[in-house]
Structure 1
Amino acid sequence: MRFFKKTVFWFIILALIAGSFYLIDRRVEEKKVVEETKKRLFPFEPKDIVEFRIVRKNENILLIKEDNNWFMEVPLRASGDNETIEKLLEAVINAKFDATLFDTKSEEKLKEMGIGGPDELTVTFKASSGLVRTIVFGNRNPTMNLGFAILKDDQRIFRLTADIKAQTDKTVYDLRDKTVLAFEPLKIKNVAIEWADGRIIAIDHPSEGQWHITKPQAAVADAIKMTELLYKIKNAEIKAFADESPRDLSVYGLSTPRLKIKIVDEKGKRLELITGEKDRKQRGIFAKRGGAQNVFVLEEDFIVGIPNKGEELEEAMLEPAKK
């Protein structure tokens, strides 16, 4: 009986010790979380941002969120690159400062950190709650791995990792949607390829996995070849934006196009890509969408692999086995 009582006693002691260690560890973890939270630069989450503005030198870029999609408002109205923008917000809004260098600002200290200088980058974020915060990035340190920044409503000067500024330092091109044609390759109804010399290749897609060439001659198209072709078109990206309001399309070879690609998607929407002359400066090809005004540049090799003849897409005929 005495042995049993001793066992219970020591079991209770061990349980109390284990519980104490658990509470200590928990408090340490909670303290770490609190300390890490204090190092956050912003009091909101990336998903809360509905508007932000980037200002550098003579450049001013404004983006606004509408129905879960981003749109550029300044310097022009255009669809935003949602993926790039979300990565920017994740990197910056979740960022933590490495250290507080100074508790109060002074003109001398700000100048030393490159804040207010030619390399200054200012970003203002607006949350859905109406809360607005502005961060100003300065120079990097001599080793280039750290940088300096301030918050407009805070007297401190912070040190933080240099890649936070790098993630934020985006251009109009970076933040703009670079999709050439938006469609689902395996759901389209038909596609037509029209060359400048009058050659036309037309393919219908009556059902899943079925591709029928209707021009220049009736034939069965190879499903793999069609899939590769359509994904090549879908995955193409705009290399550069050439002219938002062209006065003369002939300058770009688009008044007499070299190639037209016409697609009817699963909802009956008609899409058209028109290509013109080579852009020797950008090492690409001038192009535009049917119904749109602006001219952009595609990669030089975009036309490579676009079929010239219907036979290039035909399903290979298996030769009968020799007896």
Structure 2
Amino acid sequence: MKWRHSIIYLVLLLLVGGYFYYFEIVRKEQKAETDREAKRVFHLNPEKADSVEILPREGKPVRLIKEDRWILVEPVRTDVDASALDGLLGAFSRLQVEREIVAAPEDLKPYGLETPVLRIRVREGGNRHELLLGDRNPVGDARYARSEAKTSVFLVAEGNWAVFNKGLNDLRRRSLFTFAVDDVRGLRTEWEDGSVVQVHLLDDGKTWQADGQGAVKIRPGKVENVIQQLHWLRAIAFVDEDPSKLAPHGLDPPHVKVDLKLSGGESVEFRLGRVEDGKKDVTAVSSQLHAVVKVNSGVLEDIPKTISALEERSLFPLDRDDVEEVAWKLDNVEGQAVRLEPNKWGMKGKDGKPREFKDSWRVNSLLWDLGDAEYREKADSGEPVAGEPHGRMDFFIGGKIALTLAWDKPAPEGAAAVHLWMTGSREAGRVRVASDVIRKIEQNIRNVIEATEKNQAGS
């Protein structure tokens, strides 16, 4: 009989639980949603909006229409910043009444609504939604408002003001370019002094080659970085709505001109002027933005002046993930790490067997930093290492040494050049490397050595 009582209790418990869930949770959520809907000022789908007008009491009106895409048509015709417009339309559709003030006001002047501070109209097909914003309430946390659908005066949260009070420069597109990064097939820079850098992408889609300088090996990441920096460039300010007026803004001739060739055969042009003393911005014009603008002058540092700025000068021309073992000798201390898993390393002991290294991230960090390290220039000859080098590293792939780096002692401070020898299947020769680059490599090795000693002491 006990099992029957247990079933009865279980059924009762489920009934009570179901009752509580439905009336205390589901019904409350439904009521909260109903209350939210009742407080909504407008019922519209932002994605179906096709026209927006912003009419301030003071300042120029702004009008946008949706053709095949959104376009600003007043006060000038130009492209729209999609994210800014999405934010405005989203806030407009979600706007809620905080509190009703007067159901049927006889005089709108006390609320600043006789001549609204701001009027916003959104058209959605055949429906037009209009919001009037007036003065702030005495507390300052809300604004008086009206809509075409409500005769009452009500309050909306003051936070909406910054979202709705948008002018031309808030809603226009600020990105200078619309090209897709992967579409770029050629890059050419021409400086005011006549120096030219020109590279193009080969048919393999990976290798960049310098025009007329095929012997120079180009590092793809450097070209891609230039393209990325241009692609994300945004206007700080708008100088002239007529992009043909170049000379008055120091853009004809420009300080530097950049040409990009795209996969479809199209060309993109970008011009930059000179930086004025003490300024952090520079005048620019892009063939993909209809205006003369100001941009951050730091972009000039990203544009190559010589082909050497794009040259492959890596100290570590290997794929980090291919390296199976790393051996080093520094400060008369030798060690060898063996890859156990993609991100896990083991340290070889005297018996030649690798033991798991708890601080494997230090070996990975060493490889990452090496991947970013570059030499300054190639030395006059590839003569062998003179005597015992100050430091040495060997990198193994497929059980064989794929690359050896050996270097002289770096200066204790500063960036004076030090010789480094590269030998291996892919690179060979003597190069000059800044001392601070070598010091960083050595510090990474010492960090691995120190962590290894701590691991051994704790085991």
Same fold (TM over 0.5): yes
The 5 A counterparts of 1:171-320 are 171-206=167-202, 207-214=204-211, 218-245=215-242, 248-278=245-275, 284-290=281-287, 294-316=291-313, 318=315, 319-320=421-422
In the alignment, which residue of structure 1 is the partner of 2:122?
125
Find out whether 1:76 has 2:73 as its counterpart. Answer: no
Q: 1:100 to 1:77 in 2, by over 3 A?
A: same
Task: Check conservation: 1:279, 1:297, Cα contact below 8 A.
Answer: no
- Figure out how many residues of one structure are paired with residues of the other and give that number: 317
| Distance in 2 of aligned mates of 1:205 and 1:16 | 70
In the alignment, which residue of structure 1 is the partner of 2:137?
141
Greater shift, 143-152 or 227-236, is seen at: 143-152
Greater shift, 250-259 or 290-299, is seen at: 290-299
Q: 1:6 to 1:218 in 2, by over 3 A?
A: closer
Counterpart AA for 1:320: M
1:37 shift after superposition: 0.5
Counterpart AA for 1:136: L
- TM-score norm. by structure 1 comes to 0.87
Counterpart AA for 2:192: A
Task: Check conservation: 2:176, 2:289, Cα contact below 8 A.
Answer: no
> 1 or 2 for the larger relative contact order (CA 8 Å, sep ≥6)?
1
Q: Indicate the SS of the match to 1:260.
A: strand
Q: 1:15 to 1:245 in 2, by over 3 A?
A: closer
1:106 shift after superposition: 3.1
| Distance in 2 of aligned mates of 1:40 and 1:187 | 45
Q: 1:49 to 1:317 in 2, by over 3 A?
A: closer
| Distance in 1 of aligned mates of 2:244 and 2:11 | 87
1:164 shift after superposition: 1.2
- TM-score norm. by structure 2 comes to 0.63
| Distance in 2 of aligned mates of 1:38 and 1:274 | 54
Q: Residues 138-167 of structure 1, C-alpha deviation per residue, up to 9 Å, x if partnerless?
A: 223344332221112311112121111211
In the alignment, which residue of structure 2 is the partner of 1:27?
27
| Distance in 2 of aligned mates of 1:218 and 1:261 | 23
Equivalent of residue 111 in structure 1, options 85, 100, 109: 109
Q: Residues 108-161 of structure 1, C-alpha deviation per residue, up to 9 Å, x if partnerless?
A: xx33333245x7111101113x11110011223344332221112311112121
| Distance in 2 of aligned mates of 1:279 and 1:205 | 35
Percent identical = 22
Greater shift, 238-247 or 40-49, is seen at: 238-247
| Distance in 1 of aligned mates of 2:230 and 2:269 | 11
Structure 2, unmatched stretches of 5+, are 316-420, 424-428, 431-459
Q: Indicate the SS of the match to 2:251.
A: coil
1:176 shift after superposition: 0.5
| Distance in 1 of aligned mates of 2:300 and 2:165 | 33
Q: Residues 257-313 of structure 1, C-alpha deviation per residue, up to 9 Å, x if partnerless?
A: 211100011222110012234578985322223487632222233212322111111
| Distance in 2 of aligned mates of 1:320 and 1:17 | 77
Q: Indicate the SS of the match to 1:220.
A: coil
Q: Indicate the SS of the match to 2:37.
A: helix
Q: Which one has the largest radius of gyration?
A: 2
In the alignment, which residue of structure 1 is the partner of 2:166?
170
